[in-house]
Amino acid sequence: MGRAVHAALLDKPVKVLCFADNDPTRWGQVLGGIPVFSPRAAARQYGEEAVFVVAFQAEAAVLGREEARLAAMGARRICPFSDLFRKWPETSGWPCGTPAFYREHQAALAQTLDLFEDEASRQQFLGHLRWRMIRDVDALPVGTPEDQYFCPDLVRLRDDECLVDGGAFDGDTLRAFLRARCEAFGRVHAFEPDPNSHAALRTFLACLPADLAGRIRPYQAALGAGAGVVHLQAQGDHLSAVGATGTPVPVMAVDDLPRDLPITFLKLDLEGSERPALAGARDTLARDRPVLAVAIYHHPGDLFGLPLLIRDRCEDYRFHLRTHNRFGLDVVLYAVPRERTR
Q: What pLDDT does residue 236 have? A: 58
CB of 166 within 8 A of CB of 189? no
Q: What pLDDT does residue 98 have? A: 85
Given strand 19-20, what is the order of strands in its sheet?
A: 19-20, 34-37, 30-31
Closest CA to 49 of 11, 72, 18: 18
Residue ranges of the chain with pLDDT lower than 70? 56-61, 234-241, 326-327
User: What are residue 191's DSSP bridge partners?
Assistant: 166, 219
- Whole-prediction pTM value? 0.84
CB of 323 within 8 A of CB of 293? no
Q: What pLDDT does residue 190 have? A: 98
Q: What digits encode the pLDDT tens for the residues 183-228?
A: 999 999 999 999 999 999 999 999 999 999 999 999 999 999 999 9
Q: What pLDDT does residue 44 have? A: 95
Alpha-carbon gap, residue 218 to 203, rounded angstroms: 11
- Domains with residue ranges and CATH for the chain: 2-92 (no CATH), 162-340 (3.40.50.150)
Q: What pLDDT does residue 264 have? A: 98
Alpha-carbon gap, residue 103 to 26, rounded angstroms: 43
